[in-house]
Amino acid sequence: MNTGGYRDYFKVLEVKRNSTSHEIKSAFRRLARKFHPDVNPGDLQAEEKFKEINEAYEVLSDPKKKRKYEQFGQYWNQSSVIGSGMDGRNVDFGRYSNFDDFVNDLLGRFVVGRAKEGFTHSYNSSSGEYPKPANLDVQIILKITFSEAFLGTQRTLYVNEEPVEVRIPGGVVNGARLRVKGKGNLQPGTGRRGNILINLQVENHKIWKLDGNQLKAELPVSYDELLLGSIVTAITPYGETQLTIPARTLPGSSLRLKDKGWPINNGRGDLILTLSLRFPSCLSSKEIDLFNQLRELSISDLRKDWINAARL
């Protein structure tokens, strides 16, 4: 607090000398919101005004300090040690080691239940500076299932023990950020309140993979379905569908299903199914006999061209 010169604290807070404590408090809140450094970034005059407002309120809101100020004028602070055993605003000044600690506590330090800690101004009385602007936003990492990300969901979060209902729309992706306005940390004395910033982490799924906004999956197929062609039943996030696999389709080929993928801007993206060749876990003796016959009947040499091209 600046004690190097006299300031008319009543004029600073724009109140009359016979104003009630309620009128003084209301004036302080109004002016603090108006001249707060966060509202006026880079404005040194506003910052100086904000300091004067806090200085004036710290005196006029305390009945004993206010009486000394009215009695001694510019010498009020020399009449006794400020804050020594006084509790003019139900504040235990004895628990503060120095005046800086008191002002920092007056401006507010916030602890958020189940969330990160916020930061506020740190006041240095010797320099009269507020080094760091207040950050009242709450950062939360929220894990949701793949199904919740696809369909959307609703969660209840707790900030300062206050339940906050959060709606997560369908179609969000991993790393997406949601903002809930006006539900973050509250700064006493100013009425300012931050936001909740939610960072979403989407759990992996056994089948579905999300690549950007594109939904992908592997579709198991047999050798005969690839060789001879077939109509197979596949599942999509929206239900079953029938797929046609052309004859002599190579493993690793992809089929694109239009409008069967991830929700995007009130619509749907495409679903990409990659054909993955799978062998049976067991074969009957008859199947093995037929495969041996097929090998004996085959006249194709699949590696002839490859061997010729590979020679150095």
Is 206's pLDDT higher than 70? yes
Mean pLDDT for 20-27 is 90
Q: Cβ distance 29 to 191 under 8 Å?
A: yes
User: Which of 80, 197, 92, 66 is closest to 141 using CA atoms?
Assistant: 197
- Identify the band that residue 114 occupies on the pLDDT scale cut at 50, 70 and 90: very low
Q: CA–CA separation, 111 vs 113, rounded Å?
A: 7
pLDDT, tens digit (0-9, with 9 covering 90-100), for 243-301: 999 999 999 999 999 999 999 888 899 999 999 999 888 889 998 898 888 888 877 78
Q: Cβ distance 245 to 221 under 8 Å?
A: yes
- Identify the band that residue 65 occupies on the pLDDT scale cut at 50, 70 and 90: confident
* DSSP classification of residue 283: -
Query: Beta-carbon neighbour count of residue 205 at 10 Å?
Result: 15
- Distance between alpha carbon 38 and the CA centroid of its chain, in Å? 21
Is 79's pLDDT higher than 60? no
Q: CA–CA separation, 77 vs 68, rounded Å?
A: 8
Helix residue spans in the chain (DSSP H): 9-12, 21-35, 44-60, 63-72, 99-107, 146-151, 223-228, 285-297, 304-310
Q: How would you class 138 by CB atoms within 10 Å of its CB: exposed for 0-12, middle for 13-18, buried for 19 or more?
A: buried
pLDDT, tens digit (0-9, with 9 covering 90-100), for 176-195: 999 999 888 888 777 788 99
Cα-Cα-Cα-Cα dihedral sign, residues 90, 96, 101, 105: negative
Is 4's pLDDT higher than 50? no
pLDDT > 70 in the chain, percent: 78
- Domains in the chain (CATH in brackets) are 9-95 (1.10.287.110), 138-202 (2.60.260.20), 209-310 (2.60.260.20)
The helix/strand/coil state of 231 is: strand
In degrees, to the nearest 5, what angle opens at C-alpha 153 toward C-alphas 148 and 159?
A: 115
Output the CA–CA distances (angstroms, integers) from residue 248 to 47, 159, 226, 301, 304, in the order listed: 76, 59, 6, 16, 19
* DSSP classification of residue 227: H
